[in-house]
Amino acid sequence: MNHSGDISSKLRRRGYRLTPQRMMILEAVEAADGHISADEIYARVCDRYPHLNISTVYRTFELLKELGLVTETDMGDGRVRYHSIRKGHHHHLVCQNCGCIIDLDEAVLLPLKDALFRDYGFDADLKHLAIFGRCSKCR
Amino acid sequence: MNHSGDISSKLRRRGYRLTPQRMMILEAVEAADGHISADEIYARVCDRYPHLNISTVYRTFELLKELGLVTETDMGDGRVRYHSIRKGHHHHLVCQNCGCIIDLDEAVLLPLKDALFRDYGFDADLKHLAIFGRCSKCR
DNA sequence: GGTTTTATTGAAACTAATTGCAGTTACAAT
DNA sequence: ATTGTAACTGCAATTAGTTTCAATAAAACC
């Protein structure tokens, strides 16, 4: 269940370091079931390791994103949320009226991804996406 | 060329008021060629009408968005940009490596919009969208 | 025109996120 | 084991955007 080994080497191979802060933040993201905000991670890690700065949390997420270990989604509620990539790709339909969130299968977006690649040579990063609109109830 | 008449009635019909601030902000958005940030609008309007508050700019954009007069796009550079709807719909491919922006025809997204409606009953608001990824040069 | 109602504004406080910098520390090389 | 150095951290300041609230002013009604 513990992946700190391969993450550690993944970091080191690129010249990054595995610090206690990073370990604890990564652990907390893996432990979280679902999408979690920087604030929430900060609060959870602070319980056990009080001397942590919120900016370190943001910078760690930046790094984890770069390494492809987490994805970032803006659900439109004013705070960005993060999600471990090991828990699978998925997307969201966010209703602008009632705020409900519908999980979306990746397959629906594949035709778009293909079209962008074919027509524009653009490799779209659709790992995590939120599409806004109106759900069936609110239409 | 002047639309303040029909905008004025559009506002009043919904119980909103046409204030000098709103007129000047809307004028500035129409005059801008392309996407413009709240800051830039604020600076431009302030030249002629110095007693304007930045929060009024944000609130006005919120309102104009609601009325469907402008759209909002996050190009990923840390500030949201606005665009008059009268200058046409379009979308963007934003390269996460070199930062270049490719204009995208609306038609490419129609199949996705249709699929979301058909499969999920979700009416996606794809008026303005930025898709991130890697352009042909940076792949 | 004058009065009233209530949407709107400006100012200031606040939140989420980012940045610059000086001091610290992981870890590779000795 | 010690050292050198570049990566990293905490702190404080900054930025984009939002919210609160008292004062103001559109526009509807007389």
C1'-nearest nucleotide to the CA of A56:
D9
> Are residues B62 and B109 part of one domain?
no
> Are residues B102 and B81 part of one domain?
no
What CATH number is attached to the domain comprising B78? Answer: 1.10.10.10
CA B8, distance to chain mean position in Å, is 19
Within 10 angstroms of residue B135's Cβ, the number of other Cβ atoms is: 20
Residues 6 or more apart in contact with residue B122 via CB below 8 angstroms: A93, A95, A102, A131, A133, A134, A135, A136, B116
In a domain, A8, yes or no: yes
> Are residues B97 and B69 part of one domain?
no
In a domain, A67, yes or no: yes
Nucleotides on strand C lying under 7 Å from protein C-beta: 7-13, 16-20, 25-28
Cβ distance A133 to B115 less than 8 Å, yes or no, reads no
> Are residues B101 and B41 part of one domain?
no
Cα–Cα distance between B81 and B37 in angstroms, integer?
Answer: 4
- Count of domains in chain A? 2
Predicted confidence (pLDDT) per residue in A82-129, tens digit = 998 888 777 889 888 787 888 888 889 999 999 999 999 999 988 777
Q: What is the mean pLDDT of residues A46-50?
A: 86
In a domain, B138, yes or no: no
In a domain, A139, yes or no: no
In a domain, A111, yes or no: yes
Query: Is B8 in a helix, a strand, or coil?
Result: helix
Structural domain boundaries enclosing B116: 91-133
Predicted confidence (pLDDT) per residue in A12-43, tens digit = 888 899 999 999 999 999 888 888 999 999 99
Cβ distance A116 to B93 less than 8 Å, yes or no, reads yes
- Phi/psi of residue A136, nearest 5 degrees: -60, -35
Is the pLDDT confidence value at B29 over 90?
yes
Q: For residue A67, give how far its alpha carbon lies from the nearest alpha carbon of chain B (Å).
A: 14
Q: Which of A36, A23, A132 is nearest to A87 (CA)?
A: A36
Strand pairing category for A91-95 and A130-134: parallel
Is the pLDDT confidence value at B85 over 70?
yes
> Are residues B127 and B78 part of one domain?
no
Chain A residues within 8 Å of chain B (Cβ atoms): 74, 93, 95-96, 102, 104, 108-109, 111-112, 115-116, 119-126, 131-136, 139
